[in-house]
Amino acid sequence: AGGGPLLPDSVLYEIFLYLDHVDVLSVGLVCQQWHAVARDEFLWKELFYRYYRISREVPRHPAAVSWYDEFQRLYDTIPCVEVQALKEHNDQVLHLSFSHSGCLFASCSKDCTVKIWSNELDIALQHSSNMRPYNWSYTQFSQFNSDDSLLLVSGVFVGPHNSSSGEIAVISMENFTLLSRVRNKPYDVFGCWLNETNLISGNLHRIGRITSCSVLWLNNAFQGIESENVNVVKRLFKIQNLNASTIRTVMVADCSRYDSPDLLLDYEEQLAASSTCPVFDLGSDSEEEETKPKQTLEPAVQELPDDGGVTAEDGLQQFFDDIMEGRVRPAMTETELETKVAELFVRNRTKPPELNLLSTDSNSKTKYLIFTTGCLTYSPHQIGIKRILPHQMTTAGPVLGEERRSDEFFDSLDHVIDIHGHIIGMGLSPDHRYLYVNSRAWPRDCVISDPMQPPPIAEEIDLHVFDLKTMKEVKRALRAHRAYTPNEECFFIFLDVSRDFVASGAEDRHGYIWDRHYNICLAKLQHDNVVNSVAFSPVEQELLLTASDDTTIKVWRSPRTVRIQQARKPRPRKLLFSWLMNQKS
Span 398-452, pLDDT tens digits: 777 666 665 568 899 999 999 999 999 999 999 999 999 999 999 998 999 899 9
With a pLDDT cut of 90, the percent of the chain lying above it is 52
C-alpha span between 94 and 531 (Å, rounded): 8
Q: How far apart are CA 221 and CA 291, in angstroms?
A: 43
Residue 344 has pLDDT above 70, yes or no: no
Rounded Cα–Cα distance for residues 508 and 505 (Å): 9
- Judge whether 187 and 202 are in contact, CB under 8 Å: no
Three-state helix/strand/coil letters over 42-55: HHHHHHHHHHHCCC
In what helix (H) or strand (E) does residue 568 lie, and over which residues does it extend?
helix 559-568
Specify the pLDDT at position 234.
92
- 360: pLDDT strictly greater than 70: no
Walk me through the domains of the chain, giving residue ranges and CATH numbers: 9-76 (no CATH), 81-259+364-399+407-567 (2.130.10.10)
Q: What is the pLDDT of residue 23?
A: 52
Cis peptide before 572 (omega within 30 of 0): no
The pLDDT, as a whole number, for residue 350 is: 73
* Per-residue confidence (pLDDT) for residue 391, from 0 to 100: 86
CA angle 430, 198, 235 (to 5 degrees): 115
**Rounded Cα–Cα distance for residues 94 and 134 (Å):** 19
Per-residue pLDDT, 515: 95
What mean pLDDT comes out for the span 541-567? 96
Give tens-digit pLDDT for 455-511.
Answer: 999 999 999 999 999 899 987 888 888 888 887 777 899 999 999 999 999 999 999
- With a CB cutoff of 8 Å and minimum separation 6, the contacts of 413 are 239, 353, 373, 384, 385, 386
Average pLDDT of the chain? 81
Question: What sign does the CA torsion over 60, 65, 67, 73 have?
Answer: negative
Q: Check pLDDT > 60 for residue 300.
A: no
pLDDT at position 578 is 58
| pLDDT interval class at 278 (50, 70, 90) | very low
- Give the per-residue pLDDT at 298: 32
pLDDT of residue 478: 87
Distance separating alpha carbons of residues 563 and 542, to the nearest angstrom: 12
The confidence score (pLDDT) of residue 224 equals 59
- Range with the lowest mean pLDDT among 170-179, 212-221, 256-265, 331-340? 331-340
Give me the amino acid identity at 111. Answer: D
Whether the predicted pLDDT of 103 surpasses 60: yes
Q: What is the pLDDT of residue 435?
A: 96
Distance CA 201, CA 212 (A): 17
pLDDT (tens digit per residue) in 121-176? 889 999 999 999 999 999 999 999 999 999 999 999 887 766 679 999 999 999 99
So what's the pLDDT on residue 36?
56
Output 270 or 63, whichever has higher pLDDT.
63
Render 284-330 in DSSP notation, one character per residue.
-SSHHHHTSPP-----S-PPPP--TT--HHHHHHHHHHHHHTT-SSS
Asked if residue 271 has pLDDT above 50, the reply is: no
Q: What is the pLDDT of residues 45-86, one digit of tens each?
A: 888 888 888 988 889 998 888 988 898 899 899 999 999 999
Cβ atoms of residues 349 and 407 within 8 Å? yes
Distances (CA, A) of 443 to 44, 94, 137, 377, 584: 41, 29, 35, 15, 79
